[in-house]
Amino acid sequence: MHEMPYEMTRRHAVAGKRVLITEGSSGIGLACARGLTARGARVALLARDDEALRGAAASLDDPAEVVVADVSDVDVKPISQAHRECCR
């Protein structure tokens, strides 16, 4: 893991924080989830594909919440609910 200056590490500490990651089943979203869980954050992954999402969550070191939703859908209720549950 890349070493950061102390000030930056302290200022950007994520240990114990809750993070909702959209498109978390692959690519950049999953990479972010891996990096954040490695630093102690609790993550919730949000994506459209339930099977891929569950596989991604299972690949993390720490358990992740799974939210199946489409961020391009005009009905934002599932995303709002996920945010309330994850980040309260």
pLDDT tens digits, one per residue of 25-72: 999 999 999 999 988 899 999 999 999 999 999 999 888 889 888 878
Joined together, the tokens standing for residue 22 give 């959209």
Q: Is the pLDDT of residue 8 over 80?
A: no
User: Cα separation of 57 and 78, whole Å?
Assistant: 18
Structural domains of the chain ordered from first start: 6-86 (3.40.50.720)
Query: Residue 4: its pLDDT value, please?
Result: 55
Question: Do residues 30 and 44 lie in contact, with contact meaning Cβ atoms separated by under 8 Å?
Answer: no
Q: Is the CB of residue 21 less than 8 Å from the CB of residue 45?
A: yes
Q: Mark 22-41 as b/e (b = at least 16 C-beta within 10 Å).
A: bbbbeeebbebbeebbeeeb
d(C-alpha 14, C-alpha 61), whole Å: 15
